[in-house]
Structure 1
Amino acid sequence: MRSSSAPTFLVLNTKKILDRLPEWFPEAAQELIVVSSRGALDGADFPDMARLFRHLHIVEDFDRPSLEDELVALCRQFDVQRVLSTGERDLLRAARLRERLGLPGQSLECATAYRDKYVMKTTLAAHGIPVAPMRRLLRTEDLTEFAAEAGFPLVLKRLDAGGSNGTRVLWDEAGLREFARGWTPGRPGGPQLVEAWVEGEFYQINGLMDSGKVLLGQPSYHPYSDWFSVAYDAPGMSGMMPEEHRLSDRLRRTAADVIGALPPVPAVCAFQVEFFHTPDDRLVVCETASRMGGSMAVDTHEATLGVNMHGASLLGQAGRGDQVRISPSGQRQGYARFPPARGVLRRLPRECPLPRTLRYAAFGEEGRSYDGSTALGPSLADLVFSLSGPDIVAEMREAEEWWDANVVWEGRRNPVPSRWKFTHRRIPV
């Protein structure tokens, strides 16, 4: 029987973590009202999964405008005390629910600072933290005037997009004119921000924060940003950096400055900060988020740091941050997510013989024609590997070279240009 004094939490979820919620919330059957995407069931039967929670509600379309009113009704029906979310797409929705219902947690102002790229970077710049020059796009003249000031290339973004979805690069004046002819300012789904191109190597910090302070931060090197995967089918690769790397401590300190500059999230919460390290040795913030990075970052960080970032964030939002446990293994990991290219897949390696391989899974279909990648779309194959030496670049390069030597495409279009190809670059460690 449920105690009348037991708290009730509404969990907004699109991640494949439903089976782990009872691990983090042992009283899930009494405490959790879970609103989840169907994909998060991950093949499990609804009745079996529903028995784990007080209530399980499956949503077919998380972007439906009327969903928020339904969530308010659920909160009132079950006397919800806190609203918890697991992903970036629900950050603002959860904050609006808290505001409408007078519940504690991350405020709408704070959530906006972590979701709206213009608000985010304006705030950081005001604190002296380097960001790319940028401008809001309200009219065509904003774009042409900014091009005259910043030069090419230019990067067009949506204010709230993730994974470089909708990002477009204008390389020259001809590209600007072509884009402007088909662009309607203010059209839903279109770009709302223009930034100057920042040349540099790409790094991330993923970790935990609490009330504006960094508790834990793990730096990683990424040979390609998400945009390269979308534009050129580049592999999504990440490798955790050793403590002795010349940038590890600097990345942590700068990430702490970023977190300290934004409105504090009043609980233990996962975070991510992305940086460009420029040829003139500056760390320029690309973006930050009050959630864990995507792709395979959650699993690899859990294996290395001994904490699941989704679970830690949910406990923090529930007011149970003191229950978060961190047990580092000391074993660094990296991963490679190989997206489909534009062409016909003729050969796909079904096993990976590299000695540092921890897990490899192939999903693609030989003989199938593919149309390229989206940063968040399905991959052809996933690889997780261990990292042990100080030269992270050499260890990661081995994975890309193996893939390039063993996958075969017919009629492949638009591969990564050689000047940006990871295996052609020399990167100081």
Structure 2
Amino acid sequence: MTRVAVINYGPKSDYAAMLPELADTLHVFTHNELHNTDAFARYEHVPDCEFVPYPELRIRQLAAEKPFTHLITDNEYDLERVARIREDLGIPGQSAASALSFRDKVVMKEVASRTVPTAAFARLETITDLTGFIAAHAYPVVVKPVKQGGSRDISVLRGEDDLMEFSRRHWREDLMVEDFVEGRMYHVDAVLAPGYRFVASSRYVRSCLGVFSGENNGSIQLHPEEKFAGRLEEFLDRVLEAFEVPEISAYHLEVFHTPEDELVLCEIASRVGGDRIPALTRLTYGVDLHASWLRQSCGLPVDPPPAAPPAEVHGSISILPQGRPVRAPRRPPFAWVRHYEVNEKLAPGAVAQNSTSFLCFVIVGGRDLAEVEERLLQAETWLMENLEEADAAKDAEAAEEARAS
């Protein structure tokens, strides 16, 4: 008999809709409260679920009473924990070693470098490891945690002044350093399973690190018939040749395209891409990345990916929090705007905390990357020109009411 344990993070996850055949077998432990949970066999909102061991302990206790046939998560920060539980309980799925290789960026690059180019890198134990790397490779360098996401806590050191400023911060025990790679960054998003292959490629509008200097960011899909899209898909296959991969998985790959026309690995994760990537994929291809991955992981059927090329591709751009109280404008007045959303829960005067922070975002459609990019920049200009200064006190009250609801 099927019995499924779920460790969830996202507040918008709807497992009853994704897995209706199994809803009454689901035992769900979640970081954020969920809706549409009445049909579940068990539902627990666990504050700080991502960080506390309770869900793991409880799943092990429940499995001792009656085994689970599947254990799933779509949260990157739970992949290792879930893989460890699977191995201990004899549940099929990604192994602990595989999960680690996609989570620890040093291990990831050690593995991937067998088949594709990567930037020079090193794990950091002390500040002298960093200064030694700089002496060997020169500035600029990138320092980041080995298991963080969303461009959080990343520092780009371009010279001695940056190094000295960095040296005043609290030292972390989970850091690595790597060469700064010049070039545009692309991402490849995929779900791969026996008899199922979906791969889509996109280009970031700007560097993901630009949000910390005030640059709005987003991504634009490549039309699958573009030659460069095929080149990126081949690069994904070469990367995965180096890894122990689960039979069924989603992937989010980030790739630098250098001025010398070389593709260089940035990172790869064995999960669905974040930000607007799932929404863009649904609009263009009709593929729900999360549902496709999780349904197949639970042995459920999915529709095959589309065989025909899409009529149009899509892109998104997010307007960053401005660091002062402002109101997002109304929906941009362009026929090619497919979706517009305002972050009603953003605190007045907030600043960007990571690459997914936003005041509002817009999704546009077009026949190819060039047209979508032109339209995105036009929409961005309109939105920035129509931001309104806000009443901080009134907006704080409204934001608090939105968060409470």
TM-score (norm 2): 0.88
Aligned letter for 1:90?
D
Aligned letter for 1:34?
V
Question: Can you list the C-alpha shifts for 1:205-225, whole angstroms capped at 9, x where unaligned?
Answer: 1111237x9822111111223
Partner Cα separation in structure 2 for residue 368 and residue 105 of structure 1: 43
Tell me the secondary structure at the aligned position of residue 226 of structure 2.
coil
Structure 1 window deviating more from structure 2 (103-112 vs 384-393): it is 384-393
Partner Cα separation in structure 2 for residue 366 and residue 271 of structure 1: 29
* Alpha-carbon distance change, 390 to 239 in structure 1, aligned in 2, over 3 angstroms: closer
Q: Does 1:332 align with 2:288?
A: no
2:201 maps to what in 1?
A: 219
1:292 maps to what in 2?
A: 272
Partner Cα separation in structure 2 for residue 156 and residue 368 of structure 1: 30
Maintained 8 Å contact 1:341/1:373: no
Structure 2 matches for 1:11-410, cutoff 5 A? 11-19=6-14, 21-39=15-33, 41=34, 44=35, 49-62=36-49, 63-127=51-115, 129-184=116-171, 186=173, 191-210=174-193, 215-229=197-211, 231-267=212-248, 269-320=249-300, 322-327=301-306, 330-345=311-326, 348-363=328-343, 368-377=348-357, 379-389=358-368, 391=370, 392-407=372-387
Tell me the secondary structure at the aligned position of residue 126 of structure 1.
coil
Maintained 8 Å contact 2:196/2:304: no
* Alpha-carbon distance change, 227 to 323 in structure 1, aligned in 2, over 3 angstroms: same
Structure 1 window deviating more from structure 2 (153-162 vs 173-182): it is 173-182
Structure 1 residue 165 displacement after superposition = 0.9
Partner Cα separation in structure 1 for residue 246 and residue 311 of structure 2: 28
* Alpha-carbon distance change, 344 to 265 in structure 1, aligned in 2, over 3 angstroms: same
* Alpha-carbon distance change, 308 to 376 in structure 1, aligned in 2, over 3 angstroms: same
Partner Cα separation in structure 2 for residue 390 and residue 307 of structure 1: 19
* Alpha-carbon distance change, 393 to 205 in structure 1, aligned in 2, over 3 angstroms: same
Partner Cα separation in structure 1 for residue 349 and residue 311 of structure 2: 42
Tell me the secondary structure at the aligned position of residue 314 of structure 2.
strand
Structure 1 residue 132 displacement after superposition = 1.2
Aligned letter for 2:71?
V
Partner Cα separation in structure 1 for residue 298 and residue 389 of structure 2: 48
Maintained 8 Å contact 1:333/1:385: yes
Maintained 8 Å contact 1:305/1:330: no
Partner Cα separation in structure 2 for residue 252 and residue 17 of structure 1: 29
Partner Cα separation in structure 1 for residue 56 and residue 379 of structure 2: 44
Q: Percent identity?
A: 27
Partner Cα separation in structure 2 for residue 72 and residue 142 of structure 1: 40
Aligned letter for 2:25?
E
* Alpha-carbon distance change, 74 to 235 in structure 1, aligned in 2, over 3 angstroms: farther
Structure 1 residue 142 displacement after superposition = 0.8
Maintained 8 Å contact 1:307/1:325: no
Structure 1 residue 367 displacement after superposition = 11
Tell me the secondary structure at the aligned position of residue 272 of structure 1.
strand
Count of matched residue pairs: 386
Maintained 8 Å contact 1:271/1:292: yes
Aligned letter for 1:70?
R
* Alpha-carbon distance change, 281 to 185 in structure 1, aligned in 2, over 3 angstroms: same
Maintained 8 Å contact 1:245/1:390: no
Out of 8, 30, 36, the position equivalent to 2:3 is: 8
Aligned letter for 1:57?
E
Structure 1 window deviating more from structure 2 (135-144 vs 168-177): it is 168-177
Maintained 8 Å contact 2:224/2:230: yes
Maintained 8 Å contact 1:203/1:221: yes
Question: Can you list the C-alpha shifts for 1:109-161, whole angstroms capped at 9, x where unaligned?
Answer: 1111111101111111122x111111100122110010111211211111110
Structure 1 residue 408 displacement after superposition = 5.5
Partner Cα separation in structure 2 for residue 214 and residue 324 of structure 1: 9
Structure 1 residue 332 displacement after superposition = 1.5
* Alpha-carbon distance change, 258 to 7 in structure 1, aligned in 2, over 3 angstroms: same
RMSD: 2.4
Tell me the secondary structure at the aligned position of residue 384 of structure 1.
strand
Structure 1 residue 51 displacement after superposition = 1.8
* Alpha-carbon distance change, 53 to 66 in structure 1, aligned in 2, over 3 angstroms: closer
* Alpha-carbon distance change, 185 to 292 in structure 1, aligned in 2, over 3 angstroms: closer
**Unmatched tracts of structure 2, length 5 or more:** 391-405
Partner Cα separation in structure 1 for residue 81 and residue 150 of structure 2: 19
